[in-house]
Amino acid sequence: MQNLILLHGALGSPDDLLPLTHALKRTNLDVYTLSFSGHGKLPFHAAFGIEQFAKELETFILKNNLSSSCVFGYSMGGFVAM
């Protein structure tokens, strides 16, 4: 199966993507989401911005062995995905 990581927008959380996540899970995709620091219920890190969020995405990918994944981001999440 193909992995897909969905990234939420600014001031959002993975909950914002729940309808899309549920719809995509009915396909042949393994769908993953994560919450960036300072969003949802996670505390802020010392750094706050796209570079920090990109590091968090990289950590998530390595931790979950998802190196061959596709990434889709909404709004701020799109900047992180790029």
pLDDT for 37 equals: 87
Q: Could you give phi then psi for residue 34, rounded to 5 degrees?
A: -145, 160
Q: What is the pTM of this model?
A: 0.90
Share of the chain above pLDDT 70, in %: 96
Q: Are 23 and 16 in contact (CB under 8 A)?
A: no
Q: Are 74 and 17 in contact (CB under 8 A)?
A: yes
pLDDT for 43 equals: 62
Give the confidence band of 1 by pLDDT, cuts at 50, 70, 90. confident
Q: Are 46 and 19 in contact (CB under 8 A)?
A: no
- Range 56-73 average pLDDT: 95
CATH number of residue 20's parent domain: 3.40.50.1820
Cα 55 to the center of its chain, rounded Å: 11
Range of the domain at 75: 2-81
Q: Is the pLDDT of residue 32 over 80?
A: yes
Q: Are 77 and 70 in contact (CB under 8 A)?
A: no
How many domains in the chain? 1
Give the confidence band of 41 by pLDDT, cuts at 50, 70, 90. confident
Q: Are 53 and 59 in contact (CB under 8 A)?
A: no
